[in-house]
Chain A
Amino acid sequence: MKTVKNVFRRKLRAFLTIFGITIGIFALVVMGSLAEKITLLVNGGTRFYADKVTVSQGGSAGFSVNPISVDRIPAIQAIPGVRLASAGITLPLDKEQSASFGVPAMISASDLRGRNLESFKLTYSQGRELSPDDQGKAVVGADLVQKLNARVGGFIKVRGRSFQVVGILEKTLTIPDDAVIIPFRDAQNIFFNDLPELVQKNINPDMLATGLTIYPKPGVNPDKLAEEIGKKYPQYDAIGPAKFQQQVTNSTHIFTTIVFGVALISLLVGGLSVINTMTMSVYERTREVGIRKSLGASDGRIIRQFLGESAFIGAVGGITGLALGWLFVLVANKAGEASGTVIFLLTTRLAIGSIAFAIVLGVFSGLYPSWHAARLNPVQALRYE
């Protein structure tokens, strides 16, 4: 193929240009995979928080570790519109939480009072769900299986305590993937141990929870209900689906911005290097363009010839960038599985999108040089040495 031949006429230059695009697309694929994972998490979270209100004390988005007392439940259930309130505990799996992307691994427990009302259903790839009278049993989220070395019937260590695994969750691509679900009573004990001694003295461990999940009566707007509860108990954060949505979109905006930033930078760097290469290429082949024009080549023919070359550069750069990005995501996720943090998700739309982006970038950057070549005066071009 003449296009390929022409592009690689200057091998080093061709490789450098393609490499520039490769890096850009690589960055785009990696950052994009991160954003896709986050988006999925958020969408899952949105489903998770639909149709209910979570109440916690201080903290944000219901991940607070300030205690809230279970004996509040009767009073809250008395609020009109509340169908049922259920207590739950959410704690970091590792006490010393290191900062990380995505969601940190969690311990999750519930008094299970609301399990028949829950619209977010978990499915089990192995074993069974916890029942209210289980003790010392655990259900493990899909992304934590490897880290905790979990199998049904075997034992795992959670905060130094031994739990027998009774179930393993199907991958949900959102929060439960990074959670270990244990009985409420066991979680209360762990939580109690986490508290400062001073607090411990004044608290009954049986009353401990980190949050309440409130299921509204049919037809009651959960956001309105959250507002009412917030008014009645100003010391609590009552979060309905709309508020949750708002909180997470703020944080996903950052990721979208980063991805767009990376796209923009790769557009600039890759685009400029293609423009540079194509301009050089047209310049070096001025005489050839003159010959072609003397033979009656139309402007369109000349433009197509050079555009074909720049599109080819874009496509090769895009494919290698995608391949490298895919490899990176694969390796990083494999490594992440061991520590329970799978943070990349390379989706089909991202893969196709980044290749298309690279080709469009190549074509777009080739436009001016090609147009310039087509407009050359044939006599001057022929005279060019």
Chain B
Amino acid sequence: MNDGGVILRVRALYKTYELGKENLVRALRGASLEVAWSEMLAIIGPSGSGKSTAMHIMGCLDTPDQGEVWLEGRRVDKLKRRELNHVRSRQIGFIFQGFNLIPTFTAAENVALACEYAGMPRRKAKAAAARALTGVDLGDRLSHHPSELSGGQQQRVAIARALVNEPAIILGDEPTGDLDTINSREIMQMMRDINKSTGTTFVLVTHNPEVAATCDRTVCMRDGVVLADEECRPG
């Protein structure tokens, strides 16, 4: 917990993908980053610079070849599978570009699933899901399936799902990437409000300057390293 006001600390991450024998893709080459409690941080950078790779490692979905990840003062990059599942279900919320809802589940079931994985009994999970969906103005869409919802609505379900276990940090990999300008603004405003009211930390990867501008701070990735915003401008 007590990590000098830092909720997420990443030190010198390296990750190399092997495509065949000779073809090595060095996705991360010493990326380091610190995220403060209740901060709303934007990560920008060109395609292929390693943003998603870094997000996956920070979110305990993947492990680095080298480097350290500290979450809420605890080192998490070398945890066992079982412990990683625990961290993912309780300490982190994810929002993806493609929403990633289970198509055969209703909105409420999608959200409740996250509660169940966090160890909540089924009935409580249902109530919590309904509350979370009401919080993103979808109280009247509980039993709709993803295919019956607009893109913006689907992403709001995903936000509700990320929030429902009240994690201290939410990671979003291009959360507005598949949305039009209006929906994009609405979603951004919603996350901004949540951040203000609950103090939940947000780390958002984006290509959208408007989204980045809404955040407290912006960093940039290039060739597998993280640079301060000023260093990003080409030239």
The reply to whether A295 and B88 contact each other, CB–CB distance below 8 Å, is yes
* CA A296 to CA B92, docked complex, whole Å: 9
Kindly provide the distance from the CB of B100 to the nearest chain A CB, expressed in whole angstroms.
5
- Of A292, A295, A379, most buried by chain B (CB within 10 Å of CB) is A295
* CA A377 to CA B161, docked complex, whole Å: 21
Known contacts A378-B61, A379-B56; A295/B104 CB under 8 A = no
Q: Provide the residues of chain A in CB contact with B85, threshold 8 Å.
A: 293, 296-299
B101 to A, closest residue via Cβ: A291
Among B86, B87, B89, B100, the residue within 8 A (CB) of A291 is B100
Q: Provide the residues of chain A in CB contact with B37, threshold 8 Å.
A: none
State which of B28-36, B67-75, B111-119, B147-155 sits at the interface with chain A.
B111-119
Binary interface profile of B, 82-104, with partner A (CB < 8 Å = 1, else 0)?
A: 10011111100010100011101
Q: Provide the residues of chain B in CB contact with A9, threshold 8 Å.
A: 104
**CB contact list, A265-307 vs B, under 8 A:** 287-288, 290-299, 301
Cβ of B123 under 8 Å from chain A: no
Cβ of A190 under 8 Å from chain B: no
The reply to whether A294 and B102 contact each other, CB–CB distance below 8 Å, is no
Cβ of A6 under 8 Å from chain B: yes
Among A6, A287, A299, A379, the residue within 8 A (CB) of B61 is A379
Cβ of B216 under 8 Å from chain A: no
Among A288, A292, A296, the residue within 8 A (CB) of B86 is A296
The reply to whether A295 and B161 contact each other, CB–CB distance below 8 Å, is yes
Known contacts A292-B113, A377-B62, A379-B61; A5/B104 CB under 8 A = yes
Cβ of A382 under 8 Å from chain B: yes
State how many residues of chain A have any CB contact under 8 Å with chain B. Answer: 20
- Of A294, A296, A379, most buried by chain B (CB within 10 Å of CB) is A296
* CA A382 to CA B101, docked complex, whole Å: 11
Known contacts A378-B62, A379-B56, A379-B61; A294/B113 CB under 8 A = no
Task: Report, as a range, how many residues of chain B touch the other chain.
Answer: 20 to 34
The reply to whether B88 and A294 contact each other, CB–CB distance below 8 Å, is yes
Q: Provide the residues of chain A in CB contact with B21, threshold 8 Å.
A: none
The reply to whether B104 and A6 contact each other, CB–CB distance below 8 Å, is yes
The reply to whether A379 and B96 contact each other, CB–CB distance below 8 Å, is no
Cβ of B233 under 8 Å from chain A: no
Kindly provide the distance from the CB of B72 to the nearest chain A CB, expressed in whole angstroms.
15
* CA A378 to CA B88, docked complex, whole Å: 11
The reply to whether B96 and A382 contact each other, CB–CB distance below 8 Å, is yes
* CA A379 to CA B114, docked complex, whole Å: 17
The reply to whether B114 and A295 contact each other, CB–CB distance below 8 Å, is yes
Q: Interface majority SS on A: helix, strand, loop or mixed?
A: helix
Known contacts A6-B104, A297-B85, A298-B82; A292/B62 CB under 8 A = no
Q: Provide the residues of chain B in CB contact with A291, threshold 8 Å.
A: 100-102
The reply to whether B100 and A294 contact each other, CB–CB distance below 8 Å, is yes
* CA A287 to CA B88, docked complex, whole Å: 17
The reply to whether B61 and A294 contact each other, CB–CB distance below 8 Å, is yes
* CA A291 to CA B88, docked complex, whole Å: 11
Q: Provide the residues of chain A in CB contact with B90, threshold 8 Å.
A: 296
* CA A298 to CA B118, docked complex, whole Å: 10
Q: Provide the residues of chain A in CB contact with B86, threshold 8 Å.
A: 296
* CA A383 to CA B149, docked complex, whole Å: 22
Q: Provide the residues of chain B in CB contact with A295, threshold 8 Å.
A: 88-89, 94, 113-114, 117, 161
* CA A275 to CA B94, docked complex, whole Å: 33
Kindly provide the distance from the CB of B229 to the nearest chain A CB, expressed in whole angstroms.
27
The reply to whether A297 and B81 contact each other, CB–CB distance below 8 Å, is no
Q: Provide the residues of chain A in CB contact with B117, threshold 8 Å.
A: 292, 295-298, 301
The reply to whether B113 and A379 contact each other, CB–CB distance below 8 Å, is no
Kindly provide the distance from the CB of A357 to the nearest chain B CB, expressed in whole angstroms.
31
Kindly provide the distance from the CB of B172 to the nearest chain A CB, expressed in whole angstroms.
13
Kindly provide the distance from the CB of B123 to the nearest chain A CB, expressed in whole angstroms.
16
B92 to A, closest residue via Cβ: A296
Among A6, A296, A301, the residue within 8 A (CB) of B87 is A296
Q: Provide the residues of chain A in CB contact with B87, threshold 8 Å.
A: 296
Q: Provide the residues of chain A in CB contact with B118, threshold 8 Å.
A: 296
Q: Provide the residues of chain B in CB contact with A290, threshold 8 Å.
A: 100
Kindly provide the distance from the CB of B56 to the nearest chain A CB, expressed in whole angstroms.
5
Kindly provide the distance from the CB of A5 to the nearest chain B CB, expressed in whole angstroms.
7
* CA A299 to CA B83, docked complex, whole Å: 11
A296 to B, closest residue via Cβ: B89
Q: Provide the residues of chain B in CB contact with A287, threshold 8 Å.
A: 100
The reply to whether B62 and A379 contact each other, CB–CB distance below 8 Å, is yes
* CA A293 to CA B85, docked complex, whole Å: 7
**CB contact list, B126-178 vs A, under 8 A:** 161
Q: Provide the residues of chain A in CB contact with B56, threshold 8 Å.
A: 379
A301 to B, closest residue via Cβ: B117
* CA A50 to CA B85, docked complex, whole Å: 67
**CB contact list, A343-385 vs B, under 8 A:** 377-379, 382
Known contacts A296-B87, A296-B89; A382/B104 CB under 8 A = no
Among A6, A299, A379, A382, the residue within 8 A (CB) of B81 is A299
* CA A242 to CA B87, docked complex, whole Å: 69
Binary interface profile of A, 226-246, with partner B (CB < 8 Å = 1, else 0)?
A: 000000000000000000000
Measured CB to CB, the residues of B under 8 A from A are 56, 59, 61-62, 81-82, 85-90, 94, 96, 100-102, 104, 113-114, 117-118, 161
Q: List 20 A-B contacts (CB under 8 A).
A: A6-B104, A287-B100, A288-B102, A291-B102, A292-B102, A293-B61, A293-B85, A294-B94, A296-B87, A296-B88, A296-B90, A296-B114, A296-B118, A297-B117, A298-B82, A299-B82, A301-B117, A378-B61, A382-B61, A382-B96
The 3 A-B residue pairs whose C-beta atoms are closest, nearest first, are: A296-B89, A296-B88, A378-B61
